[in-house]
């Protein structure tokens, strides 16, 4: 078995460590294949790559693209060229939509008597702003005790600060990633099981599934590995590490069979 982590976040999106610190944390855990996959930005890739190179840690450029189809329907992109102008402007657009969503969320909260403003949210974010930073601002202002508590009380469907997701469609994300030379991989498939549409996604360019993920049962992983072999998809592994004080995925690295590791190295490192 080999330890890999192809799904981590830094403070360029909603993680708490810098890209270099995430690389150090991965090296400390003795991860053997590593990617930084921040939400809708490749800003941290260069710093993470530099740190990883110094640590002799095999590194892959990545980004996690949100879609407008579900709050959790996300597409990971591996091996994209971070300087690809068309892709960079696609990500710019995604981030502009995120900002609009946050404006609307803050308005919704205000209308329900939760006095938060956009500066409170901006204050929490070092990089791409997201709902997690609204949650952090709610904690800072004493409206909730943790990020999770803030989501539960204010930011999930039915609560005053919920707004539907605003990213691209899955098909648009898949084709934008392919056009930038990347391999699109469905993130945490077990979390969006009711949305599975592999025939359509594969014909739109899907190249992989994140079969190994902390919340996946053995059965889900097995099912995803079968789907991967049926459609010729690569099976990836990611912890969704966000760093300390985020309450989610605090442990970096997942153990996967040697043969899956070899395939990943071949497909993702070039």
Binding footprint of Zn ion on the chain (CB under 5 A): 64, 74, 187, 240
User: Which pairing describes strands 183-186 and 74-78: parallel, antiparallel, or unpaired?
Assistant: antiparallel
Q: Taking the CA of residue 61 as centre, how many other CA atoms within 13 Å lie in the half-sphere pointing to its CB?
A: 20
- Give whichever of 187 and 206 is closer to Zn ion, judged by the CB atom: 187
Bridge partners (DSSP) listed for residue 65: 75
Question: What's the CA gap between 34 and 178, in Å, rounded?
Answer: 21
Torsion angle of alpha carbons 138, 143, 149, 153, nearest 10°? -100
Q: Nearest-CB residue to Zn ion?
A: 74
Nearest distance, CB of residue 93 and Zn ion, angstroms: 19
Cα separation of the two ends of the chain = 22
- Give whichever of 74 and 216 is closer to Zn ion, judged by the CB atom: 74
Nearest distance, CB of residue 8 and Zn ion, angstroms: 8
- Give whichever of 143 and 207 is closer to Zn ion, judged by the CB atom: 207
Per DSSP (E only), the strands in 151-222 are 183-186, 208-212
Nearest distance, CB of residue 198 and Zn ion, angstroms: 18
- Give whichever of 185 and 187 is closer to Zn ion, judged by the CB atom: 187
Nearest distance, CB of residue 259 and Zn ion, angstroms: 25
- Give whichever of 152 and 266 is closer to Zn ion, judged by the CB atom: 152
CB 81 within 8 A of CB 63: no
Question: What's the CA gap between 19 and 11, in Å, rounded?
Answer: 7
Instruction: Count CB neighbours of 92 within 10 A.
Output: 12
Bridge partners (DSSP) listed for residue 16: none
Nearest distance, CB of residue 248 and Zn ion, angstroms: 9
Nearest distance, CB of residue 66 and Zn ion, angstroms: 8
- Give whichever of 25 and 116 is closer to Zn ion, judged by the CB atom: 25
């Amino acid at each position: 078995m080999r330890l890999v982590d192809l799904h981590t976040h830094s403070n360029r999106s909603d993680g708490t460590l810098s890209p270099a610190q995430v690389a150090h944390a991965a090296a400390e855990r003795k991860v053997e294949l590593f990617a930084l996959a921040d939400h809708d930005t490749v800003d941290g890739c260069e710093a993470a790559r530099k740190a990883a190179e110094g640590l002799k840690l095999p590194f892959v450029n990545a980004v996690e693209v949100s879609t407008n189809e579900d709050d959790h329907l996300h597409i990971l992109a591996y091996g994209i060229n971070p300087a690809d102008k068309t892709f960079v402007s696609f990500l710019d657009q995604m981030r502009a939509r995120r900002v609009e969503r946050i404006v609307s969320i803050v308005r919704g909260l205000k209308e329900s008597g939760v006095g938060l403003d956009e500066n409170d949210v901006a204050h929490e974010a070092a990089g791409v702003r997201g709902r997690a930073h609204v949650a952090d601002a709610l904690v800072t202002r004493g409206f909730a005790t943790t990020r999770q508590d803030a989501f539960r009380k204010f930011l999930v469907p039915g609560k005053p600060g919920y707004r539907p997701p605003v990213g691209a469609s899955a098909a648009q994300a898949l084709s934008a990633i392919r056009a930038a030379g990347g391999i699109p991989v469905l993130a945490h498939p077990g979390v969006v099981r009711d949305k599975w549409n592999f025939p359509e996604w594969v014909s739109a360019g899907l190249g992989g599934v994140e079969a190994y993920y902390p919340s996946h049962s053995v059965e889900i992983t097995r099912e995803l590995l079968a789907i991967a072999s049926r459609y010729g998809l690569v099976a990836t592994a990611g912890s969704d590490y966000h760093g300390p004080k985020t309450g989610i995925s605090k442990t970096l690295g997942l153990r996967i069979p040697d043969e899956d590791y070899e395939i990943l190295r071949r497909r993702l490192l070039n």
